[in-house]
Amino acid sequence: MGERIVQTAGRAQLGEFAPMFAHLNDDVLFGEVWNDEAIDVKTRCIVTVVALMASGITDSSLLYHLQNAKTHGVTKEEIAAIITHAAMYVGWPKGWAVFRLAKEVWGED
């Protein structure tokens, strides 16, 4: 297994307000699910981007996961193909929205 995924955003942003949610985010979602060895991190990043796209989530969480995908080896060509493919199933406007963020992450104006 490669580098272990560690997340502290739950505790940093919600630790006092919603400690159970923070625990589930940091320890379960990122601590256990993201570090499960059944699929590699690059594939997990792709699945996450597509799931957020399908849900219509184009806020900072999608931006974070696009950056995470790039960090874990998803190329500009791959993300373009992934978004195009997913847009056929989840909606064309969602594809446009995600491409705006992907261009920012992969350094395109």
pTM for the structure as a whole = 0.88
Report CA-CA distances (Å) from 56 to 49, 50, 71: 11, 10, 23
Alpha-carbon distances, residue 9 vs 14, 29, 61, 79 (angstroms): 8, 12, 11, 25
CA dist 4 and 27 (Å) reads 12
Determine the pLDDT at residue 97: 97
The number of folded domains in the chain is: 2
The answer to whether residues 55 and 99 belong to one domain is: yes
The answer to whether residues 28 and 49 belong to one domain is no
Torsion of CA 46, 38, 18, 68, to 10 degrees: -30
Please state, for a pLDDT cut of 70, what percent of the chain lies above it.
96
Q: Which domain holds residue 95?
A: 41-105
Cβ count near 65 (within 10 Å): 23
Is residue 60 helix, strand or coil? helix
Q: What is the CATH number of the domain that holds 95?
A: 1.20.1290.10
61 and 91 together in one domain: yes
- Same domain, residue pair 5 and 34: yes
The chain-wide mean pLDDT, for the chain, equals 93
**Shared domain check, 78 and 98:** yes
pLDDT at 23 over 80: yes
pLDDT tens digits for 38-87? Answer: 999 999 999 999 999 999 999 999 999 999 999 999 999 999 999 999 99
